[in-house]
Structure 1
Amino acid sequence: MDRMLYVAMTGAKQTMYAQAVNNNNLANANTHGFRQSLAYAYTEPLRGPVYDSRDYVQVADEVIDFCKGAMQATGRDLDIAIQGDGLLAVQAEDGTEGYTRAGDLHIDAQGIMRLGNGLTVLGDGGPISIPPAESILIGADGTVTIRPLGGAPQGLAAIERLRLVNPPTQDLIRSEDGLFRRRDGDPAPADANVRVASGMLETSNVNTVGALTRMMELTRHYETQVKMMSTADNLGKTNNRLLGIS
């Protein structure tokens, strides 16, 4: 019965992992620019001296779905959405460079440009600092332009350019802080071809109906695995009684 028990156990364990991934997707269904994760499982045979005796369930590395989210018009000058492929560089809490598709920007009391979650937005020259201004505009190439306080309507000044990158998606991983980083840990080079749309935000690419359906499906899978473990335990107890083992 140990074979049946351990095979069911590995299935239940990986189903719980898949459920956690799915729950995280659902929790971020309203997070701007979020990319859902996909959990894949495969069977790995237990190698024996003569032949493979059983197959255990294994989970593959996390796969990130980079399909685009929908564009949502906000009319706010500091909201941006990346058009097509590309990512916005920000400074993580540990000081390293990370990447995101979120674009809900704002200027704090010190004039530093930040995301809605408080992370510092990076430009080609480092953190972007905005002097007092009548208005702030972000161009399609990421150039940040301001009209200084008291300046003429046509007196615009380019301050900085958003650091936009476009590394291959297969080279990206998602860190525990939710930001994307390259697998090798090196910063991605800036890409002048990445374009942004001002006054727009990109929604999450999570399909809530599909995720809820997936949650119920995984729950049924887990219950099936637990029933198999219970059955294996009962069969073992029955065998012990038949053999007269207390």
Structure 2
Amino acid sequence: MIRALWTASSGMIAQQTNIDIISNNLANVNTVGYKKSRAQFQDLLYQTIRAAGSTTAQGSMNPTGLQVGHGVRLISTSKSYEQGDVMQTGNALDLMIEGDGFFQLLLPDGTIGYTRDGNFKIDGEGRIVNNDGYILQPELWIPENATDVIVGSDGTVSVILAGEEMPQEIGQIELARFLNPEGLINIGRNIVRPSLASGEIQYGTAGMEGFGTIAQGYLEMSNVKVVEEMVNLIVAQRAYEVNSKAIQAADEMLQTANNLRR
């Protein structure tokens, strides 16, 4: 009976963490480029009381075994990299990747971070940066006398200078992608970093060799579906309650046994 207490408690702990993950998804429903997470569970060790296929005293074979499990644990969280909803902004430096790929950002420690958040700005030196001031890689400078910025679907960046009508090309945005994007490490600020599990980094031009195209004046919003997360929240809550009922039932059975009198 003590086994039931610990087994059910492991279920409560797992569902509590599951609700934490669902809550984070709901909190980021309006975060640009956010990718929803999903909890994945794994059953724990089993106590084998009778092995399947063992021989009985009569020389026959047991067709089934007798095993008792010891609960559940949260084994991992996986990210869904399906395309998020599209929001039209009309801003020249709002960029969205339609398909596979990440923008590259120079982080303060000198390493490169990767993001799907295409909400860019221009800093005091004319460089294209994100909301935290991290510089888009490769670096692009917008001239002071530029009146408009044009970004092509292949990432080509052009500007129209004051007094001129024809655009002048100043550079190109390079995209990166990974064999296993679910292996990326989330560090916050809409940025991920590679790991050994994410595989080798591949660089390329938007719209070529499987990379997505770039849409100017649009942002990719979160791919969180509120209704789906609310259903998951209800299921997790009910699972938590059921495990608490199992603990109560085990406790009542122990109490009954404790109250036996000869």
Quickly name the TM-score band, shorter chain normalised.
0.7 to 0.9
Structure 2 runs not aligned, ≥5 long: 52-66
Does the aligned pair in 2 maintain the 1:92–1:119 contact within 8 Å?
no
- Gap change, CA 1:68 and 1:171, over 3 Å in 2: closer
The one of 165, 170, 176 equivalent to 1:165 is 176
Q: Normalising by structure 2, what TM-score?
A: 0.80
- Gap change, CA 1:102 and 1:174, over 3 Å in 2: same
The one of 128, 137, 141 equivalent to 2:150 is 137
Q: Normalising by structure 1, what TM-score?
A: 0.85
Flag as ranges the 4+ runs of structure 1 deviating above 6 A.
none
Letter in 2 for 1:230: Q
Match of residue 18 from structure 1: 18
Does the aligned pair in 2 maintain the 1:172–1:180 contact within 8 Å?
no
Q: Over residues 58-91 of structure 1, what are the superposed CA-to-partner deviations in whole Å (9 max), with x where a residue is unaligned?
A: 2232111111112222222111110111111123
Letter in 2 for 1:181: R
What is the distance in 2 between the residues matched to 1:123 and 1:160? 11
Q: 1:93: how far off?
A: 4.8
Q: Over residues 1-37 of structure 1, what are the superposed CA-to-partner deviations in whole Å (9 max), with x where a residue is unaligned?
A: 2110111011111111111111111111111221111
Q: 1:147-226 alignment to 2 at 5 Å?
A: 147-148=160-161, 150-154=162-166, 156-170=167-181, 172-177=183-188, 178-184=190-196, 188-192=201-205, 193=208, 194=211, 195-226=213-244
Match of residue 146 from structure 1: 159
Does the aligned pair in 2 maintain the 1:41–1:58 contact within 8 Å?
yes
- Gap change, CA 1:170 and 1:153, over 3 Å in 2: closer
Structure 1 runs not aligned, ≥5 long: none
What is the distance in 2 between the residues matched to 1:179 and 1:186? 17
Letter in 2 for 1:42: Q
Q: How many residues align?
A: 239
The one of 76, 80, 84 equivalent to 1:69 is 84
Q: Sequence identity of aligned pairs in percent?
A: 28
RMSD of Structure 2 on Structure 1 (CA): 2.5
